[in-house]
Structure formats: structure tokens, C-alpha cells
Structure 1
Amino acid sequence: MKKVYNHFLLRLSAFAALMFLLSQCGSKKSETTAVEVSDATSQTVQLDIEKPELTFGFIKLTDMAPLAIAKELGYFEDEGLFVTIEAQSNWKNILDRVIDGQLDGAHMLAGQPIAAGAGFGRQAELVTAFSMDLNGNGITVSNDVWSKMKPNVPVDADGKLIHPIKADALAPVIDEYKKSGKPFKMGMVFPVSTHNYEIRYWLAAAGINPGYYTADNIQGQVDADVLLSVTPPPQMPATLEAGTIYGYCVGEPWNQQAVFKGIGVPVTTNYDIWKNNPEKVFVMTKDFTEKYPNTAIAITKALIRAGKWLDTPGNRPEAVGILSMPAYVGADSVVIANSMTGTFEFEKGDKRSMPDFNVFFRYHATYPFYSDGTWFLTQMRRWGQIPESKPAEWYSETIKDIYRPDIWEKAAKLLLAEGYLSQDEIPVTDGYKPASSDFIDGTSYDGKDPIGYINSFEIGNKD
């Protein structure tokens, strides 16, 4: 197959820089294997596809991996879909292009379709039937800030820094900046990004006010101890190096890039802030799913298969090679491998095992749980993006219009019949996870009690 052969050649060039890693983690697949992956799909039963030619968007982050894998391994083609994947410049652009119909779907921040349906920012009827990953983000500070933070971080008996590192270690540094009349500035990727809510959560858990959104202050900086601003993910390291910001929250590989370049130190990950938190989602318009229902199911099928492949032991080195291709993330393969292969490097040389830093399938990661979406709504209310109090019923009604486990379940049942999934890989759920206190401050979250959760915080709006 000419297409598979061409993909193999591209993959081969990306793998050249990764030979040392692959020699330890497993060898790359040969051309013959790549053809077998594409050809061994006779059990796929194609639906009656209403729109076979599709264009999807993504931002250059490692968590776009399910899209790259579904394309490169032929999972989209198995479903009768001919997909073009295009990198986009920023999150606003990707949102606008999906709403305007220029993209049929996209890798998006989980908060984007939720905000579009909840009244913050540009309004539209968007849906997600597929959660792309869990975890995957980090918070990095400049070398100068780290030198001031580090003495405040407790160490163990061997003198090794104790993780997770809380923002308590940053508080005295912020006070020092305040006394010198210098505002403390940090970056995040978008107002409704997981990164915005995670860095706010981390700061507020240490008594540091990250600021509120109001009608007159759409930057979210009212009463702020730290001034948060938007920077596109690939520009984070350069912005930090230029001194425009002193730290940031972003997805990979842009925390590891700071370590690689020697310009900053990651101090915590979002796995530590909220264990196995939802991250990106795949988004389509509600109109698309209604006009092309079989196409929406087929897309979801291909992405579920990609997620499972990514979490199958031994496949990550090949995934790193694919992601390092210029058409996808395009970062150095060694930088991508730092987090994608089960480790995470904090201070240079302090590489720690983090097998769950990037999760694409385990723990039912691909299922769009209502409780995951509801958490984003609570944070929008907590920080003022939702300006008025809402009843508990509003939260459940709003999220059920946006998160579509019904589409996921149709796709999963077909994959079960085709032999791609087992029964235990399909969750038995009402859409809500059990209450959990797996947060850096130990606060318990129950998606069925959003008001109680909002009111449990010392810093934040109360209802």
C-alpha cells in the first residue's frame, strides 16, 4: 500500500533520532508490520458513512496522539474515513474553525465545548463523545524563581525533594515580588483550559489568590496575587526565557522542553494536582453529529482503538516517533519521550517514574464522564466566568447537552462485536464517577453535588 509505505518512510526519519531510546524500550515496527496493521482489519464492519472526507484540527501537544495514531495506523481508513489532520495556531482559532464548519472536528481543551454551551465566550452547540487523555500537564517556573522556591521545599532523609511540591513554596517568592512593586506573572494556555483551572487550584490551595473574572475584567485578574495571562503552548518556553512570565502551566512537551533547554524547572504535574484528571476532548458540532450520525460513531470507533493502542505496552516508543514528525508535534523525539514513556524530569537530572503521566485508555480514559465535565463548570463558577449562582440541576442539564456518552457507547458496542474491545473495557456507569479526594489539597469532589463543592473552598465564589 503506497500510503502506508510513505508513512513508514516518514516514521523512519523520525525514529533515527530515537534509536538509543528504542534499543532500551523496544524496537520499531518494520515496513511489513505497518502493512499488516493496516491489512489486518477485516473484522471491521463499516457503517454507511454519510461524509467520508473529513478535516480535523489539533494543537502541537503530545495529547493529540489519538488523532495521529488513528491516521497513521489506518484506523480511520478501516472505518471508511479519509481524514486530513491540520495543525492550528491557537485554541481560539481551533474553536472558531469548528463552529464555522471549516473543520469537521478537533482536539480541544475540555473546557471549550463546555464554555460554548454554558455562556462564557463564543456560544455554540458543541459536543464531545470522546475524551482524549488523562493528566499530561505540568507547572514550570524560571530558574530564578526556582532558586528562591527550592529552599522552601521539604526534603527526605536522603536530601531528595519531596513531591508533590505545593504552591506554599512559591508564596514567599510572590511576597518578595510584591514588596519590590513587581507583579508576579504566570502563563496558561486559554481562559477555559484545564491549565488555567489547574494552576488556579494549585495556587489557591496554598492561599494564593489567582484572581476573579468579572464583566469589567475578562483577564481574570481582580484581587489577584498572581497575574495569569494567555500564551499559546509552543511559545511557552520562549516567553519564559524572555522574562515576560515567571512560570506557566502547559501540556507536554513544553515543560520538558524547558528542562532540555535549561531555562526552567517543572515543579508539579496535574497528576499531583488532581490524580487522573481529564484533559483534552475531541469535539464536533451538535449539527454534525445529527446530520452525519454514522460518521460520528465511526470517528469515535477509530479514536477508541487509537487510545487502546497507545496504552498497550511496548507501543509508546513508536508513538514518540510518530509524534516527533513535523506534521504532528514536531518536537525533538528525546523531549517527547521524557514524559510519553513513563517518566517525568523535574529539576535537571531529577527524573522520576510517572507511569500514569500520559494515559490514553486505562481507567476508562476515553469515556466522556458527566462528572468530569461538571468539574469544569464548577471552576468556571468558582472564578467568575459563570457570573451568577446556578442551581444544581443546571449543572447536570448543561453537561448532558455537551458530553455524549451515548455516541461513545454505540461505538464501543460495535468494537466489542468486532473483537477490538473486551466487555470489561466498557464502563458500567450512570455517567458519574464516585466522589474522590484525589486532589493536592485533599478536598472531596462529587459531580452530583456541584454547589457543595464550590462552597467548600476558602478562595472562590460561593453559592
Structure 2
Amino acid sequence: MSLDHRVSVGFLPLLDSAILVAAREKGFAEAESLDLVLVRENSWASIRDRLAVGHFAAAHMLGPMPIAFNLGLAPLAAHTIAPMALGLGGNAVTVSRNLWTAMEDNGASSRFDPASAGKALREVIAAKAAKSRPRFAVVHPHSGHNYELRYWLSASGIDPERDVEIVVVPPPLMQDALAGGRIEGYCVGEPYNSAAALAGIGRIITLKSLVWRSSPEKVLGVAANWADANPEALGRLLRALYRAAEWCGTAANHGELAEILARPGYIGCPAEWLLPALSGNIPTGDGQVVAVDDFFVPHKKAATFPWKSHALWFYSQMVRWGQIEANTTNEAVARESYRPDLYRTALGPIGVALPGANAKVEGALTRATPVGSAGASLVLGPDGFFDGKIFDPDRVGEYIGK
């Protein structure tokens, strides 16, 4: 087949690169006459820089990164848009064996309950406050990992600025940093939580999918100038990725997907590290396995739709933690960084279920709920925050002011 468009896309070796990898390996890109070239990187800073200088048209990207780029929060950052999400959930918080033992002594649940884990961690921190603060790692300052870790800590009565130290470590180095005693815990995407648990190095204590159910994670970050100049290629890319997401979301394909992702050119790890997140059977790190609904969602629940409410929640956390000033201009920049209009243009003609709105109240759905949509039927939720809070994208100022 003659391939009409060559598109270079950067990615990190993480489970949530699955849609990109499947689009290439299972022929969905080729079916759209795309030569999809995937380039593995080892840090989000490298992804940022190579997109900025034109090496990549698009990239597997942290959900807040396009917003941070467009707000001027990162050096050497190009104007970047997010016309598609790459799934929901997929992160966890893992701690050292010693810290887990102390948390367990203070009543931490063995089943990842965020309220129980937070309460126990607060008590451990209070007991050792005079000696040292535990050091936790996240993958980037402008990451869902940083914001969800801080949200969980704060809601648990732990001050992320004073009670713990938060540092940045690239995802593939998290497990080694924990094993070497450089950090006492981390928030990262798969497979680096399961890897530590299966090796007996760390204990998973809570999950992104329990802190905020149906929560956003990675997006397809696209250089805005490339998108403007190549609308046909962008549409083909979004269609290929959507069909790949359908394939990735089918349980019968998970064994094959794990084998593909495990190859050296992609994640380069044992397939056994990837199967827990795909199946939802999550190893704790002390011999147990806990079945978790919707740990990682690549397709259902509008998992690839770039909700403006997700962008605005990320913006609210940037303001909360002092990264940017709250004003109407910055809020507008955040809102317009996510582009559901481009998603609709590419996928509407092929009958994809499209939400009736571009934003939604986050945390309002307590159960799976059929919603109005164009095309096929669509079910959203549950999507609640563990502390019962609600985020209304029409009241961002009020939310920030609380």
C-alpha cells in the first residue's frame, strides 16, 4: 500500500503509549495511508524539546503539558494542542517496604483505599516529623501524577509543601530510585508500580482510578503549526488511534498487546509487568492481588475524548500550587489547549460516539450513566473524587478560591 503521509511521534516507555503502538503494529495507521514513525524517548523534557524543534509532529504527552507549554511555563516549548486523549487512569502510588510497614501499623487498608492510606501516611509523617520528611517522586512538575499526588495528600490532611518532599524522576528510573533508598515513594504510570510490587521492592498503596475515578492521564500532544498545515494527516492519525483504542480496549487482545509492548523498541520489559494493569488484577507487593474496576481505560467511557473540563481541572491545580496566576486570560489558554472540535471533525463521519458537550461536571456521576451523544451510544462514569468534591468547569474561579 502506498503511504501518503509520514508522521513522526515521540513516546515514553509506558503502558499508556499502547494506542500509539497498536496503531502502528496492528495496521490501523497503514489503513489510513499513514507511515507512523514512533520514536522512544526516556524523559518528558526530551519529548518537549524535540516537539519544539520540529523533530516530532506529535507526541505521547502528559495531560497538563500542552497547557503548561501554552502558558509559557516551560522553556523551548512550541504552541501545542491536544485533539485526543490516550486513555483514562493507569497510575498508582507505590512506597518502600519500610514505609508500608509503618503505614500498615497505623491502619492502612490492604486494598488500595485512598482515605485509609492517606490517614495512615499522615500518622506516620506526624510521628517522624522531627526527624525527616518522606521523599516522593513524580514524573514532571506539570503532570497528572504531581497534581493527583498533591490532591490526595492534601485531602488526607498532609501538606505537600511542608510535610513531604516531592522530586522529579523519569518513569523508567522510579523502581531503581526506590530500591536504592533515594526516595520513599512515587506516583507513576504502569508498568513501574507493578514491576516494584512483583519484585517485592515496593508496596502499592492507592490508585489514580480510586483517587479520581475515570480521570485523565496522557493526551496526544500535537504541534499546532503542524496541525494547521496538515489537517488531512491529523484526521487520519486520529482515526487510526481511535481504532487502535478500540482494539486495545478488547480484553481478548490484552495478551497480544502485552507481548507487543514488551518488545525492546517499545517498553522493553517482561510482559508479566503489563498484564496486571490490562486485566485490572493489581499486585499489592506483599503477595496479594486486588481486582480493580477500570484501572486503565483505553477506549470505553469516551476515554479518547479531550474534555475541556479535564484541561481546566489541570489548570486549577497549576494555580493551586503556585505555578501560574489565576486570571481569565490564563483560563482561556488552558481551555483552548484541548481541541474536541478537531476530534469531532475527524471521528464524527465514521459514527464514533461523540459527547453532546465539550465539558462536563467532574465528580458528578456516582454510577455508570448513559448520556446523550451523536453516533453510537455512550456511557460515562462513575467519575467521583475520593473526598466527594465536585469540579464544575463553569465555576473554575470558585473552585480555585475554596
Considering the TM-score relative to the shorter chain, is it more than 0.5? yes
TM-fit CA distance, 1:347: 3.6
Structure 1 window deviating more from structure 2 (71-80 vs 338-347): it is 338-347
1:53-64 aligned at under 5 Å gives the runs 53-64=6-17
AA partner of residue 97 (structure 1): R
- Counterpart of 2:128 (choices 163, 177, 198) is 177
Structure 1 window deviating more from structure 2 (329-338 vs 226-235): it is 329-338
- Is the CA contact 1:141–1:246 (under 8 Å) kept in the aligned structure 2? yes
**Counterparts in 2 of 1:259 and 1:154: CA distance versus 1, 3 Å:** closer
- Is the CA contact 2:112–2:204 (under 8 Å) kept in the aligned structure 1? no
Separation in 2, partners of 1:311, 1:452: 36
AA partner of residue 138 (structure 1): A
TM-fit CA distance, 1:435: 4.3
- Counterpart of 1:330 (choices 268, 275, 295) is 268
- Is the CA contact 1:127–1:286 (under 8 Å) kept in the aligned structure 2? yes
Separation in 2, partners of 1:138, 1:389: 29
Who is 2:316 aligned against? 378
TM-fit CA distance, 1:172: 2.2
Who is 2:207 aligned against? 269
Structure 2 alignment gaps of length 5 or more: 365-383
- Counterpart of 1:432 (choices 359, 377, 392) is 359
CA shift digits 1:240-296 (9 cap, x unpaired)? 011111000000000011111111101000011110101000111110011111011
- Is the CA contact 1:107–1:280 (under 8 Å) kept in the aligned structure 2? yes
- Is the CA contact 1:138–1:251 (under 8 Å) kept in the aligned structure 2? yes
**Counterparts in 2 of 1:154 and 1:263: CA distance versus 1, 3 Å:** closer
**Counterparts in 2 of 1:154 and 1:285: CA distance versus 1, 3 Å:** closer
Task: Give yes or no for the alignment of 1:128 onto 2:82.
Answer: yes
Q: How many residues align?
A: 381
Separation in 2, partners of 1:452, 1:226: 27
Task: Give yes or no for the alignment of 1:455 onto 2:401.
Answer: yes
| Secondary structure in structure 2 of the residue aligned to 1:283 | strand
Separation in 2, partners of 1:281, 1:97: 17
- Is the CA contact 2:108–2:119 (under 8 Å) kept in the aligned structure 1? no
Who is 1:389 aligned against? 326
Task: Give yes or no for the alignment of 1:296 onto 2:234.
Answer: yes
Separation in 1, partners of 2:285, 2:79: 43
| Secondary structure in structure 1 of the residue aligned to 2:322 | coil
- Is the CA contact 2:71–2:330 (under 8 Å) kept in the aligned structure 1? no
Structure-1-length-normalised TM-score: 0.79
Structure-2-length-normalised TM-score: 0.91
| Secondary structure in structure 2 of the residue aligned to 1:86 | strand
**Counterparts in 2 of 1:389 and 1:400: CA distance versus 1, 3 Å:** closer
Q: Could you tell me the percent identity over the aligned residues?
A: 34
1:100-249 aligned at under 5 Å gives the runs 100-122=53-75, 123-153=77-107, 163-164=113-114, 165-180=116-131, 182-211=132-161, 224-249=162-187
AA partner of residue 187 (structure 1): A
CA shift digits 1:34-63 (9 cap, x unpaired)? xxxxxxxxxxxx9x95xx112111001000
TM-fit CA distance, 1:161: 5.1
| Secondary structure in structure 1 of the residue aligned to 2:251 | coil
AA partner of residue 130 (structure 1): M
Who is 2:32 aligned against? 79
TM-fit CA distance, 1:319: 1.0
| Secondary structure in structure 1 of the residue aligned to 2:266 | coil
Structure 1 window deviating more from structure 2 (370-379 vs 316-325): it is 316-325
- Counterpart of 2:189 (choices 251, 272, 282) is 251
TM-fit CA distance, 1:154: 5.5
Question: Rg larger in 1 or in 2?
Answer: 1
Who is 1:411 aligned against? 346
AA partner of residue 87 (structure 1): R
Who is 1:356 aligned against? 294
- Counterpart of 2:388 (choices 442, 445, 449) is 442
Separation in 2, partners of 1:362, 1:207: 34
Structure 1 window deviating more from structure 2 (69-78 vs 337-346): it is 337-346
